[in-house]
Amino acid sequence: MFTLSLTLVRHGETQYNKEKLLQGQGVDTPLSETGVQQAEAVGKYLGDIAFNYVFSSNLQRAIHTAEIIRRNNTHCSGTEMVLDPLLRERGFGVAEGHPKEHLKNMANAAGQSCRDYTPPGGETLDQVKLRFKKFLKALFQQLSDEHGRAGAPEAANGMAAAASERAPGGSAEDGLQEASVHALVVSHGAYIRVAIKHLLEDLKSSLPAGAKMSQVFSPCPNTGISRFVFTLSPSESGPVLSAARCCFTNRKEHLGNLTAAEKCGGKEMG
């Protein structure tokens, strides 16, 4: 049995985010100047966390964000970054490259909510969820093979001890003292929302005390941070999830020193 922390971070702002244009998978834009500043801010916020694994979507806005986070980290600057297409943003088909208002109009014409609507050529929410489930299953198997019978890594133990000395609540290390292995995932707004929904509703992750559902499922801001902790038990058929806990979602305290415009970025999609 071992415990894993999974830290999810949305990429920094792009020019398309700023202009409220859909990117999806077909529009692969770099970070804007504000996006780089946001990535630097989240990198410094997470700078003392000893991530054992770093995963990123293979779209450049996520890759650049992950590179900046890794560069600012005192423990994992040399950790290999794995680019995984399973972490790519939801595909929005013919709506990609168009204003988000265009997607809303298409959804209204179809009599559906914008979040549930699938434009022609796009991915359904279930297809996005299936990609995340495949990623999570592979992650659990890899970490179970590598850590399931081993003790906690020294760096993680040291970090947990340091975290236990800090005041609870609002810390970058919240939840990490429970885990022996730490994974960072950099992905996208719509994808992360689907992932959080799956972790809470399907895997029955427990919520933090006093958590409001409006906050838990609110749109993830650029470089917003969410964290879950999983306890896995070995079995002949592979690791079994024994417990899952949500530590927090969509945290953005690290953006406190940026201007209001820099904080907002693009909402969720992209």
Catalytic residue among 11, 75, 147, 254: 11
- CA 221 from chain centre, in angstroms, equals 11
Cα separation, 183 vs 141, in Å, equals 13
**Residue 75 a catalytic site member:** no
**Which residues, 6+ apart, have CB-to-CB distance to 67 below 8 Å?**
81
List, as residue ranges, the binding site for substrate. Answer: 10-17, 61, 100
**Residue 11 a catalytic site member:** yes
205-215 CB burial, b ≥16 within 10 A, e <16: beebeeeeeee
Q: Angle at Cα 265 formed by Cα 117 and Cα 171, nearest 5°?
A: 105
Cα separation, 250 vs 268, in Å, equals 10
Cα separation, 206 vs 243, in Å, equals 9
Q: Angle at Cα 46 formed by Cα 55 and Cα 30, nearest 5°?
A: 55
> Contact, 97 vs 21, CB < 8 A?
yes
Catalytic residue among 89, 96, 123, 173: 89
List, as residue ranges, the binding site. Answer: 10-17, 61, 100
103-136 CB burial, b ≥16 within 10 A, e <16: beebbeeeeeeeeebbbeebbebeebbebbeebb
Phi, psi of 73 (to 5 degrees): -90, 135
Active site residues: 11, 89
